[in-house]
Copies of this chain bind each other. A is one copy, B any other.
Amino acid sequence: MTDNSLPILTYSEENYLKAIFHLSEEGKKSVSTNDISGEMKNRPASVSDMLRKLGEKKVIEYRKYYGVHITEDGKKLALQTIRKHRLWEVFLVEKLNFSWDEVHEVADELEHIKSRILIQRLDEYLGFPKFDPHGDPIPDEYGDVRSRPRLPLSEIEVNGTGQIVAVKDSSASFLRYLDKVGAYIGARIKVLDKVEFDGSIEILVDNKKTIFMSKDVVNNILIMQ
């Protein structure tokens, strides 16, 4: 089975498949219509229609009323879209000086550009980056992902050190907050203190700045040790 046998998806089908892939990654056995409609910000009825189509194209397994599973072909296609999205994010941040909380929307459009050679050349031009500006891994052309071992910041012990490698919640407001306090991707941190009762912690960033973080923030930061 090569690339050639994969079905061609519309712009919209690509977006659904990407959403289903991300929801699948969250560990659930199957992804529900409502989950997808939440992610896509549209109505469940629209989702049902689309699931039938995606099922016909064999990129998901669809049993009515029981949610969907993504197939191997579906994964490959989703990873191709994710690869494009993340490469464009690197381009926007590294070359066009976008800040990392500005890139989502634009990358969501750019990821649908169809040329294969474009992505190969872009990848080369960017120096074959392995991670995007949020620290998420960039799949290779064949969908392979080399992910770094990483833990939620909340799991790091007092006096433990590491590097921020990713964030779970990449909403613009969260990213702006991190930028403001200096907790960028790649920052070296050391856990100075953990407060049991509210889950907040105190960390040292880059050996110079001490900051306090609430439980909500702590749960959304991933560390590589």
What DSSP secondary structure best describes chain A's contact surface?
A: helix
Q: How many residues of A contact B (CB 8 A)?
A: 18
Interface flags for A82-115 (1: CB within 8 Å of B; 0: not) read 0000000000100111100010011001100111
Pair A96/B122 contact, Cβ less than 8 Å: yes
Q: A105-B115, A115-B105 are in contact. Are A97 and B110 (CB under 8 A)?
A: no
Could you tell me which residues of chain A, from 193 to 207, have a CB within 8 Å of some CB in chain B?
A: none
Expressed in whole angstroms, the minimum distance between the Cβ of A167 and any Cβ of chain B is 23
Chain B residue nearest to A113 in the complex (CB): B109
Q: Give the chain B neighbours of A172 by CB distance below 8 A.
A: none
Q: Give the chain B neighbours of A95 by CB distance below 8 A.
A: 125
Pair A97/B115 contact, Cβ less than 8 Å: no
Chain A residues with a Cβ under 8 A of chain B: 92, 95-98, 102, 105-106, 109-110, 113-115, 117-118, 121-122, 125
